Every structure is written in structure tokens, then in C-alpha cells.
Structure 1
Amino acid sequence: MHLPISSRLVVQTLTVLLVFGALSAFVGSALAIAFNGAGIPQEYLATSPFTTYVVPGLILGLVVGGTQLAAAIALLTRQGSALLLSAVAGFGMLIWIFVELVMIKQYSWLQTAYFVLGGLELIFVLALLGIIPALVECR
């Protein structure tokens, strides 16, 4: 997979975003499971199907963190599926935040930050696919 310099910069930036997303999902997952929400009030779960933070923590770590990590590894190893995995990871992050907001009916600035993270991942995927060509220099 030979990419122009600007495309490489987009790939590197996307990889950094995915690694950050994976690491923060794994940390959030570990805290949610080990400390039952790590200080997040239990009352937030009242409008959700969960009684503890264990299952949401597992979903956060395995699904959100797992897809972020898989996409980052695919980009680093130049796999043909890298952009597909990156899109899945970006959508996964957006879906996670959307469902979280719907279920717990509470807002934190972190939700905006992670929603932006997922959105940026998708924008970079679209740029690398040539759908947003202004972001990537084509030679």
C-alpha cells in the first residue's frame, strides 16, 4: 500500500486516534468492571437495562476498545481491511456514545470528546477512500 506523504500523515493521524480510543476504552472498561463504575453514580443505570457497570464495561472494552485496536493494528500492518475496520471502529464509537446518552440520560463533556473522536476517525477514512479528496493530496 503506497501512499503519498500527505496520505501517510492521514494514516498516521488515524492510527494515533484509534490507539487513543482503544487505550481509553480499555482503561474505562477496567475501571467500570473493577470499581463498578469508578465513581459514576449507580442511579445513572436506573433508566438502562443494567444493574451494575460490569456488562457495559465489558462491552466498552471488548467491542469499542477491541475494534479500535484491531483497526489500529490493521493500519500499522497495512492490511487490506484497514479502512473497513477503521470505519467500523469509528461507527462503533459513535454508536457507543449515542446509546450511552439514550440509556443513562446524563451528559458529560467526555461524551462530546469521544463523539468527535469517532467522527474524526470516519472523516479520515472517507479522506483515504477519496470521498473527501480535499483532505488528502493525490499524486
Structure 2
Amino acid sequence: MRGSGHRLLRFFLNVSAWFNLLSAMVGAVGLVAFEGMGIPAQWLNGTPFDSFLWPGLLLGVVVGGTQALALFALHGHFRLAPGMSVAAGLVMMTWIFAEIAMMLVWSPLHGVFFASGLAQVVVGVLALGAWPSPLLARDRL
């Protein structure tokens, strides 16, 4: 990502990665240290988990870890930063999808975090160069 046109994309990728990292860490600590943060334990029925310990650890390490790697790449100005952001957004979206599929419950927060992962993916793909320039240009066949 180079040039002034990518500054806005980089800014959004930083904001989304920080938001997703902080939310994953808060969620992980809440699940592990505060026994689910008020989430009913019966929501774990039918899942491979009998407590919130493993889901909390997975949330912190996998979701939070990929966001941290994306931030490291962004702050280090590595060329793989947009790709890492896409990967981190996909991990966030997969986490939410798997959580809903296993617990068979939905909360508005699921929508918020899925949307933040989706936005991170879209902006990361745009930063990789998926935006046609000029936008409405046509190819002659």
C-alpha cells in the first residue's frame, strides 16, 4: 500500500484491527475470568465445551492473535499487511459463524462483530488492488 490514496485504507485497516483485537481480548478475558460474562451456561449444551475456558482461550489466541499479526504487519509497513488484514477479518467472520452454528443462538453483537470482520476483509481486498481504476472503465473486446 503506497501513496496518499491508500492512506485512508491503511487507517481503516488499523482501526478495524484494533477494534477486533480489543473486542477479542475483552471477550476472552470475560469468558475465562468471569465464567462467560453472564452468558447462560446452557448455551454450551450441544457444543464440545463444558465451560467457557476453551472458547475464551481460542478467542484470545486465534481471533486476537490474527488481529495482532495484522496490526504488526500494518505498523511495520510490510507488503503482506493487506493480506494479513483479510486473513484476520476472515478468522473473525469464521469465529462468529461457528459460534452461532454451535450454540444456535444469535445476539446483535454477533452482527456487529461479523460486520467488522467483513468490513476488514473488503477494505483489505481493496488495499490489495481490487479497485478498478477508473472505476467504470470498460474493456474493448
TM (norm. structure 1) is 0.91
Contact 2:86 2:124 in 1 (8 A): yes
Contact 1:47 1:105 in 2 (8 A): no
Contact 1:37 1:53 in 2 (8 A): yes
Aligned pair count reads: 134
Q: Which 4+ residue blocks in structure 1 deviate beyond 2 angstroms?
A: none
Q: How do 1:77-88 and structure 2 match up within 5 A? A: 77-88=76-87
Over the matched positions of the two proteins, sequence identity in percent amounts to: 38
CA distance in 1, matches of 2:76, 2:28: 26
Q: How do 1:99-114 and structure 2 match up within 5 A? A: 99-114=98-113
Instruction: Report the secondary structure of 2:129's partner residue.
Output: coil
CA distance in 1, matches of 2:94, 2:131: 22
CA distance in 2, matches of 1:129, 1:81: 9
Give the letter for the 1:35 counterpart. F
Structure 2: stretches of 5+ with no match in the other structure: 136-141
Residue 115 (structure 1) aligned with residue 114 (structure 2): yes
Contact 2:24 2:60 in 1 (8 A): yes
Contact 2:14 2:74 in 1 (8 A): yes
Residue 43 (structure 1) aligned with residue 50 (structure 2): no
Per the alignment, residue 67 of structure 2 pairs with 68
Per the alignment, residue 92 of structure 1 pairs with 91
Per the alignment, residue 28 of structure 2 pairs with 29
User: Computing the radius of gyration over CA atoms, which structure comes out larger, 1 or 2?
Assistant: 2
CA distance in 1, matches of 2:46, 2:112: 23
CA distance in 2, matches of 1:73, 1:133: 28
The alignment's C-alpha RMSD in Å is 1.4
Structure 1: stretches of 5+ with no match in the other structure: none
Instruction: Report the secondary structure of 1:130's partner residue.
Output: helix
CA distance in 1, matches of 2:106, 2:132: 34
CA distance in 2, matches of 1:33, 1:10: 34
Instruction: Report the secondary structure of 2:48's partner residue.
Output: coil
TM (norm. structure 2) is 0.90
CA distance in 1, matches of 2:14, 2:31: 25
CA distance in 1, matches of 2:97, 2:91: 10
CA distance in 2, matches of 1:76, 1:50: 36
